[in-house]
Amino acid sequence: MHRTGELYGQFETLEQQKESAALGMWVFLATEVLFFGGLFMTYTLNRHYYGTAFGVGSNTLDLKLGGANTVILILSSLTMAMSVWASHVGKRKATTSFLIATLVLGTAFLGVKVIEYKQKFDHHLVPGYHFQIDYRVQHPAPNDDPKEIEAEKEELSKAFAKDPDLNAHAQLYFSLYFGMTGLHALHMIVGAGMLVWLIRQSIIGRFTPTYNTPVEMIGLYWHFVDIVWIYLFPLLYLIDRHQ
Amino acid sequence: MSDHIVPPKVYVGIFLSLMVLTAATVAAAYVNLGAFNIVVALAIATLKATLVVLFFMHARYSPGRTQLVIICAVFWLAIMLALTLSDYVTRDQDVAANISVPQMLES
């Protein structure tokens, strides 16, 4: 493709070039909205039919870890936005630093997610043959708070009275939990890969105040992934906390 | 768009608003509002998403055609949710009651 400096041949001006990229990126994000939308639709219907099981499943999640991850992810969106600003005003070192901060925060988010997933495996809350919603109260670990276990036992017996098929319906909740957070995490991993590339480009001085489209476009993607989590957090962690 | 540079002050302000709203959504979840818990949770999430789209994603400073794509994305999502739900909620029998649990998941 013919290129004059930062301007590719098919465009008249840098402004037009950048607006075309942003438009294309938003069209891609529109398809992503519908991609995740299917899962949110499935969630809505199943929560409508199996509210009890969804409430019980939601209460097994660790609100501290989920809350911390929300803060981490929103903070990473801030550093991403700041790197876009830094590239606009030509601060090359600041651009690189903010991109590295975003990558570190994104990786921290994934690390917390690993801890959360591990807990679910330990408590037999992964859908499949060994799934058992009351595994934790039946086999409490030595360092578990007995009061907490007692409260969970009571909650479970009430839930079983309301919904005898609780074990099956809770698996629907956890299938959606792993499906939705898993797809979200996959997007984060892809984003982290793109950040590594951006950091390299930034270090070699590829971005200038007139050409920083990649920083802005990957920024759009990163913020979109943040928005998905903004919805996932209350829908998965906060269903039934007021009991 | 390319000549509009959003100052860091705006970004930090939006970040702080998002933090306050996150605290609000957690606090609201502990209050029993019955059916309105989910309404409050989704309203706060939508407010947060709107702030991210308008400022972090620069939608506020984008040309009209880019804004149109954003509106279309939300509109298509609304079509999917509204039409699917209008099917499920207007059936004369409970769909869930007729779905048998696979043998493997029982016990």
* Count: domains in chain B: 2
Q: Are B80 and B35 in contact (CB under 8 A)?
A: no
Inter-chain CB proximity A15 and B107 less than 8 Å: no
Q: Does the beta carbon of A21 lie under 8 angstroms from any beta carbon of chain B?
A: no
Please name the residue of chain B whose CA is at the shortest distance from the CA of residue A25.
B66
In the prediction, which pLDDT does A194 show?
A: 98
Inter-chain CB proximity A77 and B107 less than 8 Å: no
Inter-chain CB proximity A15 and B1 less than 8 Å: yes
Ranges under pLDDT 70 in chain A: 1
Q: Which contacts (CB < 8 Å, 24+ apart) does range B74-81 have?
A: B74/A33, B76/A30, B76/A33, B76/A34, B76/A37, B77/A33, B77/A34, B77/A37, B80/A34, B80/A37, B80/A38, B80/A41, B81/A37, B81/A40, B81/A41, B81/A44
Q: Which residue in B18, B21, B57, B105 has the most chain A C-beta atoms within 10 A of its own C-beta, making it the best mutation to test that interface?
A: B57
Q: Measured between CA atoms, how close is B70 to chain A, in angstroms?
A: 7
Q: Judge if B52 and B31 occupy the same domain.
A: yes
Q: Judge if B53 and B70 occupy the same domain.
A: no
In the prediction, which pLDDT does A1 show?
A: 59
Q: Does the beta carbon of B107 lie under 8 angstroms from any beta carbon of chain A?
A: yes
Secondary structure element (H or E) that encloses residue A3, with its range = strand A3-4
Q: Tokens 């962690």: give the residue.
A: A237
Q: Judge if B18 and B49 occupy the same domain.
A: yes
Q: Measured between CA atoms, how close is A236 to chain B, in angstroms?
A: 11
Q: Which residue in A40, A43, A88, A227 has the most chain B C-beta atoms within 10 A of its own C-beta, making it the best mutation to test that interface?
A: A227
A207-223: pLDDT as tens digits:
999 899 999 999 999 99
Confidence of residue B2 (pLDDT cuts 50, 70, 90): very low
B84 inside domain: yes
> Which of A71, A88, A234 faces B19 most closely, judged by CB atoms?
A71
- C-alpha closest to that of A203 among A117, A112, A97, A110: A97
Lookup: tokens for A25? 């990126």
Q: Does the beta carbon of A28 lie under 8 angstroms from any beta carbon of chain B?
A: no
Q: Does the beta carbon of A81 lie under 8 angstroms from any beta carbon of chain B?
A: yes
Please report, as a single letter, which amino acid is at residue B66.
T
Please report, as a single letter, which amino acid is at residue B24.
A
> Which of B31, B45, B105 faces A242 most closely, judged by CB atoms?
B31
- Looking at the structure, give the CATH architecture of the domain made up of residues A39-237: Up-down Bundle (1.20)
In the prediction, which pLDDT does A236 show?
A: 97
Inter-chain CB proximity A70 and B22 less than 8 Å: yes
Cβ contacts of A228 within 8 Å, gap of 6 or more: A36, A184, A187
Residue B45 sits in which domain range? 1-62
In the prediction, which pLDDT does A21 show?
A: 95
Check pLDDT > 70 for residue B101.
no
> Which of B48, B73, B105 faces A230 most closely, judged by CB atoms?
B48
| B18 alpha-carbon distance from chain centroid | 14
In the prediction, which pLDDT does B97 show?
A: 59
State the Cα–Cα distance between residues A77 and A228, nearest whole angstrom: 12
B99 inside domain: no
Inter-chain CB proximity B15 and A234 less than 8 Å: no
C-alpha distances in angstroms, A74 versus A68, A91, A136, B87? Answer: 10, 23, 32, 36
Q: Judge if B41 and B77 occupy the same domain.
A: no
Q: Judge if B1 and B46 occupy the same domain.
A: yes
Q: Judge if B49 and B78 occupy the same domain.
A: no
Q: Judge if B23 and B45 occupy the same domain.
A: yes
State the Cα–Cα distance between residues A6 and A206, nearest whole angstrom: 10
In the prediction, which pLDDT does A99 show?
A: 98
Q: Judge if B46 and B80 occupy the same domain.
A: no
Q: Are B55 and B14 in contact (CB under 8 A)?
A: yes
Inter-chain CB proximity A26 and B32 less than 8 Å: no
In the prediction, which pLDDT does B1 show?
A: 44
B82 inside domain: yes
Q: In this structure, how many other beta carbons lie within 10 angstroms of the beta carbon of residue B52? A: 20
Inter-chain CB proximity A165 and B101 less than 8 Å: yes
- C-alpha closest to that of A231 among A27, A33, A68, A2: A33
- C-alpha closest to that of A159 among A53, A37, A15: A53
Q: Does the beta carbon of A177 lie under 8 angstroms from any beta carbon of chain B?
A: no
Q: Does the beta carbon of B71 lie under 8 angstroms from any beta carbon of chain A?
A: no
B12-68: pLDDT as tens digits:
999 999 999 999 999 999 999 988 999 999 999 999 999 999 999 999 999 999 999
B105 inside domain: no
Q: Tokens 């950040």: give the residue.
A: A195
Q: Judge if B20 and B45 occupy the same domain.
A: yes
In the prediction, which pLDDT does B88 show?
A: 84
Confidence of residue B99 (pLDDT cuts 50, 70, 90): low
Please name the residue of chain A whose CA is at the shortest distance from the CA of residue B61.
A19
Q: Does the beta carbon of B100 lie under 8 angstroms from any beta carbon of chain A?
A: no
State the Cα–Cα distance between residues A140 and A123, nearest whole angstrom: 9
Q: Judge if B52 and B18 occupy the same domain.
A: yes
Please name the residue of chain A whose CA is at the shortest distance from the CA of residue B20.
A71
In the prediction, which pLDDT does A78 show?
A: 98
For chain A, domain boundaries: 39-237
- C-alpha closest to that of A100 among A235, A220, A202: A202
